[in-house]
Structure 1
């Protein structure tokens, strides 16, 4: 991936098509977690001139310095400094790290600051916001960008990561309409498409199409490397193996938190998958004939081709 800093405007100077519109949508942006997701968000807004000054907050000083060197952020700040200055706080951290962050932000948060997150689960994040922010939870709109990569760190940041991708927002019933509209405009400036859902519907759907696929890819990769002839197997692996296991290379910390926070929905999906796997296995064990096996494989192939063609048109 090319160096994102090479295409970014100078720090603190909005450029691009958004500059002609006057003040940027986000005069001061604070990104908590400046890796792939947070860094790409800052880069995307800067690309269109919709982020003025960008503050970087995080646990790893070296990563923050790298983000600054790449031009993803202008300044390194702590949470209190971010809360005092930011118009938008974007939480791009593992779900398990959000509780202490929200707890620290609550007493110092400005009444006009908007907050959102990029967590892959939403029921637990919404509950944390209500419990830890109290009345200020209306300033927080849970979100999940359906975009990513197995790459990590500030170097992986891509200003086009969200272009044409879907962003799920799960606002509260009492979220002010103006705040919701504001966040939608900000994401649309990144080139994203917005979907509004309840947290429960989001978590059920994402367990099926994101969380369980990663769980299975990781399990399969673990099975391969534990084999006595693992080196031989890997030396013969081709594009199918690479495509199937690609997502297993993601951050272990991030995915640990996702599986634990969405445990019930993931387990339900694994139960459903197990039933299909048993049915397929039975065709190999002689309980069904070759025609049954072919029918099951054909059903899956047709569904995948249909989905692939439809997703390319969207």
Structure 2
């Protein structure tokens, strides 16, 4: 008589899926990788560095040449010579370039469809543009700060050959350097907001170019009786003018007030971009 042996009991080990949460530091790391993985962004950042330094040095050379004759020296003095402004001329061109970087960072994802992946990863969406803003601000600050300082040092070295240069210890010089860096970072963040609103790289860049270079020219003919002077003072690209100069101009807001209005412009544009990203379909 045979007996049936019971089958051995197999114990199955229960596995529990690990829970992963999307955190803001994780989004920042992701955006950092994406920022330096896009060739157009890397090239544009390099171009901004070269433009700030190169144009500043070339302008300083041209200024020194203008002082080589008595007539040229008189003309420069009549225009209100500012050696620091001459060496930082490249920062004005740099605003256009870093604004393009801000637009590309977000609009490029809409053109490639990558934004859908980002939204699936972070459904609340606001963290996406917040992480982009942090990464953009950090990178633009570092790159442009080095470029602005180098442009100043090289430009003043050129001007010092005719005893026209300034030093970091002179009144208003450090403020002008920091003001130019703050202007570049703010314009880049404004470009990010515009890019999130328009969602097209070409359209966003054209809009920023118009806001920085075209609209101020169109505001010039507005008479003072219509409030033209106040409109010009409070326009986005004019607000920070005195913060970037050693010699202050009465035609613009004071350095402190102008910088505060400039920050308000940037916050509003970023906020509008964030609302568009959160509420509109992708």
Q: TM-score, normalised by structure 1?
A: 0.26
The structure whose residues are more often strand, as a share, is 1
Q: Which has the higher helix share?
A: 2
TM-score of the aligned structures, taking structure 2 as reference length: 0.28
The structure number with the bigger radius of gyration is 2
